[in-house]
Amino acid sequence: MSLPRSTLSAQGVDATGLLALVDAAERDRLGLHSLMVVRHGHVVAEGWWRPYAASRVHLAYSLSKTVTATAVGFLVQEGRLSLDDRVLDHFPELDRSAVAPGWDDVRVRHCLSMTVGHEQDAWPQVFDRMSGSDFGDTRDWVPRVFATTPTRTPGTVFAYNQVATYLLSVIVGRVAGVGVAEMLRPRLLAPLGLPDIPWDRDPAGRELGFTGSHLTTEAIASIAQLYLDRGRWQGRQLLSEAWVEEATRAFGPLNEDPGADDDWRRGYGYSFWMQRVGYRGDGAYGQFLVVLPEHDTVVAITAEQSRMQSTLDLLWEHLVPAIGRGGPAGSGESEAADRALAERLAGLEIPAMSGDALGPDHAEFSRASASDLAADYTAVSVTRDGADFVLGLNRRGEWLRVPVGRGLWSEGEIVAGGATLPVVASGGWVDEDTFRAEVIAIESPHRFRIEARLRSSDADLTWRMVPLTGYDPLWLATRWSYA
């Protein structure tokens, strides 16, 4: 734990507001995996939807941009990097004839603020991981980035653009001599009492920067608290106040995407979005680092859901009005509400799948046409293992084994192609014909289901929500070996 604990009432927050928020999130099926609220520097509410847990890291997607930007902030305050540095100057080895026009005037601050001059995200021109190709392409991605052409003057147009933060990650590695995660260890992680950050990397071993960081919920909340306290931690100024001030205000033009929700159209700082109240970092499928300076409050959320504005709306509807509305600390009514919320948060879970039918001791199934897992997964097997099961997934002719708990989440790993992916799984025979199971890639937001049928001898393998990394679960792994 890096943050002290307290109660809602002791810090002036009405627990009934948080209860209403949790109830609404469950009712609206917002797919939350964790929630942490910190007021006056104290954790006042925390909960994980089992099998997610406090000790587990969670893929943060684009919340990674905030972490990468923080690394840039440390180098700026140390005088090793300037916001006005030309990005190209950090790549002297590049063949300038292969660099697209428009990059000469792109500065570090333009990468931080998503104003490099691209009018749309240039990442699809660099690499398409949704294609299902192997991670064996060892060509450097940096020249591909500089081959994309900025069509507007830097600083004049906003476009949410993965290549901008990818370049920042590479620059941090070149300036610091180590990657983002290692560079942050003595400056951020150790002082805040946080674990190292597993991170998805490019073929050269560099953190992607714009995505791929894996954070505990408390790590998200602690970084938010550092920004709320303007770079101070336990009385020590870690990150300069000037950096926090500049990074957390809108820079440049607004997001003019007509499809953007309200809290994505209020301006963008240095990897922070402005919002109705305060500011935030966020990532796909509902990863949030929310800072509410006027309320001395921060919020950390992890999830798997597609309606991110709905989560923010619940904060504005239920949490913000509850701040400062709590009854007198120590009163019977407020203590009862605190206990009710604590019990509610302790009981959160993603229900495990089960089944009471007997089913055969072993069965094999071919892949059904409705499946959306990577096409490399061609068959499924189910083998009884005492009261539980072992799920077999045939990938490129190799059987991968996953333990499946009946009515409970059983821990295991998917290991293949040099990757190791931690998973939990539950399932069972729901009738004499049908076996159903769910597999959660437990260090990510994502899960997929298997429905296997004896009569047709086939099985559907379907994602709840397809990861941005692609259709193969193994692309969610951070542990790779190429021995």
pLDDT bin (cut points 50, 70, 90) of residue 326 is low
Same-domain status, 216 and 305: yes
Same-domain status, 284 and 418: no
Domain boundary among 346, 378, 400: 346
The DSSP annotation for 289-307 comes to EEEEGGGTEEEEEEE--S-
446, 476 in Cβ contact below 8 A? yes
Same-domain status, 373 and 334: no
Residue 355 lies in a domain: no
What is the number of other CB atoms lying within 10 angstroms of the CB of residue 452? Answer: 27
State which H helix or E strand residue 46 sits in: strand 42-48
Same-domain status, 335 and 367: no
Q: Which pLDDT score is estimated for 481?
A: 74
Instruction: Give the pLDDT confidence of 200-238 residue by residue, as tens digits.
Output: 998 889 999 999 999 999 999 999 999 999 999 999 999
Torsion sign, CA atoms 111, 116, 119, 124: negative
Q: Which pLDDT score is estimated for 257?
A: 86
The DSSP annotation for 119-139 comes to SS--GGGT--GGG---TT--S
pTM of the model: 0.95
What is the number of other CB atoms lying within 10 angstroms of the CB of residue 371? Answer: 21
Same-domain status, 377 and 253: no
Q: Which pLDDT score is estimated for 133?
A: 45
CA gap 268, 253 in Å, rounded:
8
Residue 438 lies in a domain: yes
Residue 352 lies in a domain: no
Instruction: Give the pLDDT confidence of 96-107 residue by residue, as tens digits.
Output: 999 999 999 999
**Average pLDDT, integer, range 12-21:** 96
**Average pLDDT, integer, range 451-466:** 97
Residue 149 lies in a domain: yes
Q: Which pLDDT score is estimated for 126?
A: 86
Q: In 433-449, which positions are buried (b, 16+ CB within 10 angstroms) versus exposed (e)?
A: ebbbbbbbbbbbbbbbb
Same-domain status, 123 and 268: yes
CATH code of the domain containing 70:
3.40.710.10
Same-domain status, 208 and 88: yes
Q: Which pLDDT score is estimated for 132?
A: 44
Same-domain status, 406 and 337: no
Same-domain status, 414 and 373: yes
CA gap 163, 171 in Å, rounded:
12
How many domains are there within the chain? 2
Same-domain status, 278 and 367: no
CA gap 256, 181 in Å, rounded:
33
Same-domain status, 278 and 390: no
Q: Which pLDDT score is estimated for 258?
A: 85
Pairing of strands 458-463, 362-367: parallel
Amino acid identity at 42:
H
Residue 13 lies in a domain: yes
Let me know how long the chain is. Answer: 483
Residue 232 lies in a domain: yes
Residue 4 lies in a domain: no
Instruction: Give the pLDDT confidence of 120-158 residue by residue, as tens digits.
Output: 999 988 876 544 444 556 678 999 999 999 999 999 999
Domain holding 424, by residue range, is 362-480
Place of tokens 């189910």: 382
Residue 389 lies in a domain: yes
